[in-house]
């Protein structure tokens, strides 16, 4: 059996390892255009801040690929010919497959601003190793930088630039930071924290034009309000989309919607071709198509797609959504449905006085359905279980301490949270 995997991110690398566990004899080729070795994209910011070397971003020893007899191929796949059952690389090399996995990840969204032509010097994204190189080249302590886009990647880029002593302006279209994930109080806590680190955070500001230097580099931006902001580095982090553009030019493209459309067993519309990770759009029976685009989702999908390729019966059922990250140093854990909760859902939200610590639990029909926690560390597996078990708010509050990580510096004192919860509960009982 010849397995070929296009894309050596977490979905592709996990698939390669899973296939090897299933079949000691198969030939496995893992093709990557971006890097020689699989690396952790989520840790890109730590390399930028010089806390990790690029080598530290690689989760595996380099010799693991030889030991597992997985052939690493550096190059971009530019064609898929399902009739010949072969992919062709930009170098011209053709690689035949019996089973092919597409795990080509996501690409940054590109704005359609006036004056933006190609990729002018100074314009950067923060998604790939090549983006990191560009960012590092343009980083100048004291220099002016603008980051557009108030989400996870935007705040990471802002933190890196501020870390290197740049004068950073953070332009956010929405009325508070990251409204798809946060309520106004939470978003404001994050923006205030970022401002305290010397970053200018400007809300409700929509960029409409890129201003250029005489030689075509970036000089700044103009916003809809008419304001102009100067910069030598313009970081654009306005979301990502499945990397599918290249498939429009291949001999036999798979069916594309928002991403490469796959069945719950990760098979595409092409025979013997599967897709997984950030590039995949999963068609789930009775539910909206799913594009996950988170690290553990891509890892899980890579493993399941590999098992499907090896002949297992797979029917993907997405688990409770969970994620954790740091937002300019503030711990962030989320689980379940928070801002996308059903109408009629109720929120218990409290912030510990004098601290950048908050707890939000969303309840619907008597059961906790979502958690958003900022400023302290939590073990999300508890939240997943409580959501799956449809635990009520009283149960959650009685057991909340158990979900805290027992970290070296001690757990956050939750007594103010419990006191607020009692008041919230009494008010709920009074008002129905």
Ligand X SMILES: Cc1cc2nc3c(=O)[nH]c(=O)nc-3n(C[C@H](O)[C@H](O)[C@H](O)COP(=O)(O)OP(=O)(O)OC[C@H]3O[C@@H](n4cnc5c(N)ncnc54)[C@H](O)[C@@H]3O)c2cc1C
Question: For 250, which DSSP code?
Answer: S
* Contact yes or no for 152/178 (Cβ under 8 A): yes
The single residue among 41, 144, 193, 391 that binds ligand X, judged by CB under 6 A, is 41
* Interface mask toward ligand X for 81-120; x: CB under 6 A: ----------------------xxxx--------------
* Site of tokens 């090897």: 20
Q: How far is the CB of 92 from ligand X (least distance, A)?
A: 14
CA distance 418 to 415: 5
Q: How far is the CB of 367 from ligand X (least distance, A)?
A: 25
Stretch that binds ligand X, among 110-118, 149-157, 351-359, 386-394 (CB under 6 A): 149-157
Beta-sheet pairing, 106-108 with 322-327: unpaired
Q: How far is the CB of 215 from ligand X (least distance, A)?
A: 29
Query: Is residue 10 involved in binding ligand X (CB under 6 A)?
Result: yes
Question: For 412, which DSSP code?
Answer: P
Query: Is residue 154 involved in binding ligand X (CB under 6 A)?
Result: no
* Interface mask toward ligand X for 44-83; x: CB under 6 A: x-------------------------------xx------
Query: Is residue 27 involved in binding ligand X (CB under 6 A)?
Result: no
Q: What DSSP string describes 230-241?
A: E-SEEEE-S-EE
Pick 243 or 352: Cβ nearer ligand X: 243
Phi, psi of 332 (to 5 degrees): -140, 125
Please name the residue ranges forming H helices in 258-318.
295-309
Residue 353: how many CB atoms within 10 A of its CB? Answer: 8
Query: Is residue 320 involved in binding ligand X (CB under 6 A)?
Result: no
Distances (CA, A) of 71 to 31, 67, 68, 75, 253: 8, 10, 9, 13, 25
Q: How far is the CB of 130 from ligand X (least distance, A)?
A: 9
Distances (CA, A) of 279 to 208, 316, 387: 29, 16, 28
Residue 256: how many CB atoms within 10 A of its CB? Answer: 17
CA distance 244 to 288: 20
The single residue among 28, 31, 57, 361 that binds ligand X, judged by CB under 6 A, is 31
Q: How far is the CB of 332 from ligand X (least distance, A)?
A: 9
Stretch that binds ligand X, among 31-39, 52-60, 170-178, 341-349 (CB under 6 A): 31-39
* Contact yes or no for 133/223 (Cβ under 8 A): no
Compute and round to an integer the Cα radius of gyration of the chain: 23
Query: Is residue 7 involved in binding ligand X (CB under 6 A)?
Result: yes
* Interface mask toward ligand X for 189-228; x: CB under 6 A: ----------------------------------------
Query: Is residue 149 involved in binding ligand X (CB under 6 A)?
Result: no
Phi, psi of 148 (to 5 degrees): -110, 125
* Interface mask toward ligand X for 325-354; x: CB under 6 A: x-----------------------------
The footprint of ligand X (CB under 6 A) covers 6-12, 31-34, 41-42, 44, 76-77, 103-106, 126-127, 152-153, 156, 243, 246, 277-278, 293-296, 298, 323, 325
């Amino acid at each position: 059996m010849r397995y070929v995997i296009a894309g050596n991110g977490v979905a592709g690398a996990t698939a390669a390892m899973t296939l090897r566990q299933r079949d000691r004899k198969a030939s496995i080729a893992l093709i990557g255009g971006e890097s020689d070795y699989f690396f952790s994209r989520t840790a890109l910011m730590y390399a930028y801040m010089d806390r990790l070397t690029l080598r530290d971003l690689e989760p595996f020893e380099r010799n693991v690929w030889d030991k597992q007899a997985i052939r690493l191929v550096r190059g971009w796949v530019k064609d898929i010919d399902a009739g010949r059952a072969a992919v062709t690389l930009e170098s011209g090399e053709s690689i035949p497959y019996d089973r092919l996995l597409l795990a080509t990840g996501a690409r940054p969204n590109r704005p359609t601003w006036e004056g933006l032509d190609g990729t002018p010097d100074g314009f950067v994204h923060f998604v790939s190793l090549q983006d990191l190189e560009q960012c590092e080249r343009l980083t100048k302590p004291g220099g002016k930088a603008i980051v557009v886009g108030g989400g996870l990647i935007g705040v990471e880029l802002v933190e890196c630039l501020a870390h290197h002593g740049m004068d950073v302006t953070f332009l956010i279209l929405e009325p508070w930071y990251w409204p798809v994930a946060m309520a106004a109080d939470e978003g404001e806590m994050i923006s205030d924290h970022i401002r305290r680190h010397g970053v200018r955070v400007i809300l409700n500001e929509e960029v409409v034009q890129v201003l250029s230097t005489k030689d075509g580099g970036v000089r700044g931006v103009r916003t809809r309000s008419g304001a102009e902001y100067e910069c030598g580095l313009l970081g654009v982090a306005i979301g990502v989309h499945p990397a599918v553009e290249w498939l429009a030019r291949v001999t036999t493209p798979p069916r594309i919607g928002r991403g490469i459309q796959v069945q719950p067993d990760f098979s595409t519309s092409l025979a013997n071709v599967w897709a997984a990770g950030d590039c995949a759009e999963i068609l789930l029976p009775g539910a909206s198509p799913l594009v996950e685009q988170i690290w553990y989702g891509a890892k899980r999908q890579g493993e399941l797609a590999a098992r499907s390729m090896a002949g297992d019966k797979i029917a993907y059922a997405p688990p409770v959504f969970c994620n954790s990250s740091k937002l300019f140093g503030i711990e962030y854990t989320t689980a379940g449905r928070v801002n996308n909760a059903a109408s009629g859902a109720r929120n218990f939200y409290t912030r510990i006085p004098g601290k950048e610590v908050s707890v939000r639990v969303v309840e619907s029909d008597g059961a906790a359905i979502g958690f958003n926690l900022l400023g302290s560390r939590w073990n999300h597996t508890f939240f997943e279980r409580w959501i799956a078990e449809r635990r009520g708010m009283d149960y959650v509050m009685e057991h909340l301490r158990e979900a805290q990580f027992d970290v070296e510096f001690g757990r956050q004192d939750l007594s103010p949270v419990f006191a607020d919860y009692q008041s919230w509960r009494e008010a709920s009982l009074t008002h129905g």
